[in-house]
Structure 1
Amino acid sequence: MQNPEISLTVAPELRLFLSSGRRRAEHSLVRIDGAATLGHVVESLGVPLTEVGALLADGRPVAPGHLPEHGERITVQAVTRPQQVPGPLRFLLDVHLGTLARRLRLLGVDAAYENPDIGDAALAARSAAERRVLLSRDRGLLRRRELWAGGYVYSHRPAEQLRDVLSRFAPPLAPWTRCTACNGPLREAAKDAVQEQLRDGTERSYDVFARCSDCGQVYWRGAHHTQLAAIVDEALREFGPPARPLPSSAH
């Protein structure tokens, strides 16, 4: 058979990954060679499989390994939100998402962050070894086969990025319990235990402190508390339970 083709319909929220010509059309014809799997065909069009939910062939669910046949009507759906991830929900963020990593940690979400850039292969390998969902705006990185799980970050604005991740994965929130610098757990600390790390003004002005169990960073309700509390309050209103107050500023 010459030039076998399938009819492809891609969910509207996934069309940004397509070329401009395909992006405008509700349906498009795609040539197939009889050997490439449906997953390969979808990725060759620019859509990472991390963003794909159900795949339908003539209305019936199929796996990414399905071999499409001439004339099939293929529907590519987006992931269902909230997306279910097996095991404890933990994240790994690439070098370009430092602000998002700090905001997730502020909310108590386990968010490892690689800076400096360790390369795509090492990031994907760490995702697999630690069973972390890799968050990135790099489509090529999200197509790596060794990746355990991943998610494309659709916006370049940190506030929108945070809302997108919380909406998609619905991680449990526990604000003020993680170090925003290293991702370690915070523990309440007596003033005399952290006194050597405080400036004179801080020691006189504050009495409630927390310290990171991993890196030793000390936190208190300093000048940035109002700004950070606004981020926490907004996230909790839509995505989480009430927070328990803990110090939020660090030096």
Structure 2
Amino acid sequence: MNGPKIQISFAPGLGVFVAAERRTGSTALTTDGTSSLGHVVESLGVPRTETGRLVVDGRPVDASHVPAAGETVEVEGVARPQPVPGAPLRFLLDVHLGTLARRLRLLGVDAAYESEDIGDPALAALSAEERRVMLSRDRGLLRRRELWAGAYVYSDQPEEQLRDVLERFAPPLAPWTRCTACNGRLSDADKEAVRERLEHGTEKTYDVFAECVECGRVYWRGAHHSRLEEIVTEAVREFGAPTTA
């Protein structure tokens, strides 16, 4: 590039996306004089889904702003909680985020999940078709223009991933109302109606059941329930009381 020179800085949380020399303070950048500021920021590694306000010489500007010589640019992260206008808040997770998908479903959050790698173009198209927020650690996927909305999942640890998504989007919580296997709704089930699908020990020990209206999976409060209860209790404590599904 041999165009206008600007000074640019990034919010600390965006440091994961940019080169090491741009992670602290303001650094010089030569632009081409025609590209929008949104394009410039994305070319430096920050997916558009992670870019918040763009501030030039102390005033917010649109992503379409073309930088001029001598301008000082500050790139902020997205505001939290982040509003998602125009549709019920629903998510789509890629093949690498299965545990996060199951934990969101446990909390009653609508979280579609692709258990097979269907490819970035198909995922982006599905996000647009169903108006779902794409959650991924794939930066290339989050740069696709077809996406309806998206968010980078910053951690590779399920506990931190869940906290990140709940803090960022503040989805309504309705624990124990979704199937963790398929995302379908759960309804109360009579023991007699599901008896044939229960193992002998389960049939003898438990009396309260729920059934997925989509896939027919049967749920009960078995030995694993205490761990799931911990996840639910912690999420509700930190991110708000559950709502009625």
TM-score range, shorter-chain basis? over 0.9
- Name the aligned partner's letter for residue 71 of structure 2: E
CA distance in 2 between counterparts of 1:69 and 1:4 reads 6
1:2 Cα deviation after fit: 5.0
- Kept after mapping to 2: 8 A contact 1:81/1:167: yes
Aligned to 1:173: 173
- Name the aligned partner's letter for residue 118 of structure 1: I
CA distance in 1 between counterparts of 2:243 and 2:148 reads 31
Aligned to 1:77: 76
CA distance in 2 between counterparts of 1:92 and 1:242 reads 22
1:240 Cα deviation after fit: 2.1
Residues 1:223 and 1:107: Cα distance change in structure 2 (over 3 Å): same
1:22 Cα deviation after fit: 1.7
CA distance in 1 between counterparts of 2:95 and 2:29 reads 35
Aligned to 1:39: 38
Aligned to 2:18: 18
- Name the aligned partner's letter for residue 29 of structure 2: V
Is 1:217 matched up with 2:217?
yes
Deviations 1:10-65 (A, max 9, x none): 11111111112222x31111111112111110011111111111111111111111
- Kept after mapping to 2: 8 A contact 1:236/1:243: no
Per the alignment, in what secondary structure is the counterpart of residue 129 of structure 2? helix
Aligned to 1:151: 151
Is 1:58 matched up with 2:92?
no
CA distance in 2 between counterparts of 1:67 and 1:3 reads 12
RMSD between aligned alpha carbons?
A: 1.4
CA distance in 1 between counterparts of 2:78 and 2:242 reads 28
Per the alignment, in what secondary structure is the counterpart of residue 76 of structure 1? strand
Runs of 4+ with deviation above 3 angstroms: none
CA distance in 1 between counterparts of 2:144 and 2:130 reads 16
Mapping of residues 238-249 of structure 1, within 5 Å: 238-242=238-242
CA distance in 1 between counterparts of 2:217 and 2:88 reads 25
Per the alignment, in what secondary structure is the counterpart of residue 54 of structure 1? strand
Residues 1:218 and 1:52: Cα distance change in structure 2 (over 3 Å): same
Deviations 1:168-206 (A, max 9, x none): 000000000000000000000000010110011111100
- Name the aligned partner's letter for residue 109 of structure 1: V
Per the alignment, in what secondary structure is the counterpart of residue 204 of structure 2? helix
Aligned to 1:190: 190
- Kept after mapping to 2: 8 A contact 1:191/1:207: yes
Per the alignment, in what secondary structure is the counterpart of residue 238 of structure 1? helix
Per the alignment, in what secondary structure is the counterpart of residue 215 of structure 1? coil
Gaps of 5+ in 2: none
CA distance in 2 between counterparts of 1:91 and 1:5 reads 39
Per the alignment, in what secondary structure is the counterpart of residue 211 of structure 1? strand
Aligned to 2:90: 90
Per the alignment, in what secondary structure is the counterpart of residue 112 of structure 1? strand
Per the alignment, in what secondary structure is the counterpart of residue 159 of structure 1? helix
TM-score with structure 1 length normalisation? 0.94
Aligned to 1:112: 112
Gaps of 5+ in 1: 245-251
1:9 Cα deviation after fit: 1.3
Per the alignment, in what secondary structure is the counterpart of residue 47 of structure 1? coil
1:5 Cα deviation after fit: 1.1
- Kept after mapping to 1: 8 A contact 2:178/2:184: yes
TM-score with structure 2 length normalisation? 0.96
CA distance in 2 between counterparts of 1:152 and 1:68 reads 26
Residues 1:2 and 1:240: Cα distance change in structure 2 (over 3 Å): closer
Aligned to 1:248: none
- Name the aligned partner's letter for residue 144 of structure 1: R
- Kept after mapping to 1: 8 A contact 2:4/2:67: no
